[in-house]
Structure 1
């Protein structure tokens, strides 16, 4: 006998993969990283330097945004 493939109606829905708080922080950090990388590239920096600056901007803005947005 096989088990049913759907979840029974008496069990709660599974928790979401990301909370709204996490999604907002990652989206804002990605925007900040893109701006930093774009401005670095437009200022005459090499593409690799712009990518590195964008990644650093993303990485450093995540903990700051986490503490600011609650």
Structure 2
């Protein structure tokens, strides 16, 4: 007879103490924190790109270049 996962977890806790369960929760929390830091970094990079594009005329010049090429081909 195989115990279900919750029974197995309870047995593990009983045999090894709360150390194993605490470690599992700690690893999950660490993964969550790493994910949050990654998202904050990506958001910061995106904000820097948006600030740079809005201060320079890169997008406008790109559109002008594309439209000029389209018009000159006709």
Could you say which TM-score interval applies, normalised by the shorter chain? 0.3 to 0.5
Structure of higher RCO (CA pairs closer than 8 Å, 6+ residues apart)? 1
Q: If each structure's helix is expressed as a fraction of its own residues, which one has the higher value?
A: 2
TM-score with structure 1 length normalisation? Answer: 0.38
Which of the two has higher C-alpha Rg? 2
